[in-house]
Copies of this chain bind each other. A is one copy, B any other.
Amino acid sequence: MAESVPREANQIMSIGDLAERTGLAVSAIRFYETKGLVTPARNAGGQRRYLRSDIRRISFIQVSQQLGFTIEQIRTALATLPASRTPTQKDWERISRNFRAHLDERINCMTRLRDYLDGCIGCGCLSMKKCALVNPADGLKKYGAGARAVIGDKLER
């Protein structure tokens, strides 16, 4: 009896609904919640209830992940969204622009690397000094404990 109005019409979804809408696993959505990326309301029985606007939020997370951003970076970006009201298109545009800048940087970095590749790996010197491989901007990857050692100028000969 807790919810008399049909959820769908009321723009309110269960976690299963949201999962189906976004293509994410239910467990992943819960995981994102533990990381502070979404904060759904709860109904009387303690079950999560999402708004339709959360679809966009989750989708943003998905896209960002595909672009290689970490959960933490995404969390930071989402934190700039207004908490008091449903984010507007302008809000999303702002975040989008910001991420695009990061993306531009990464594309430039990869392009530079690609252009150096033959002169680098192919040439027989493999000199990292020229390679500009030194600590690529916001790191394509950063696993493991501690920061990845910077590739310095101590190669070959």
Contact = CB atoms under 8 A, between A and B. Distances in A.
Interface of A: 20-25, 55-56, 59-60, 62-63, 65-68, 89, 92-93, 95-97, 99-100, 103-104, 106-107, 110-111, 113-114, 117-118, 120-124, 126, 128, 131, 133, 136, 140-141, 149-152, 154-156
CB-CB nearest 8 A-B residue pairs: A93-B122, A96-B122, A96-B121, A89-B124, A103-B114, A59-B126, A68-B140, A23-B152
A103 B112 CA distance: 11
Contacts of A24: 149
A62 B75 CA distance: 30
Nearest to A22: B155
Given A56-B156, A92-B122, A118-B93, A141 B110 contact: no
Contacts of A95: 121
Interface residues of chain A: helix, strand, loop or mixed (majority) = helix
A89 B126 CA distance: 11
A118 B100 contact: yes
A92 B118 CA distance: 9
Given A21-B156, A62-B128, A67-B110, 16 more contacts: A22-B155, A23-B150, A23-B151, A23-B152, A23-B154, A63-B131, A66-B113, A68-B140, A92-B121, A96-B117, A96-B118, A96-B121, A99-B121, A100-B117, A100-B118, A110-B110
Given A103-B114, A114-B107, A155-B55, A133 B63 contact: yes
Contacts of A122: 89, 92-93, 96-97
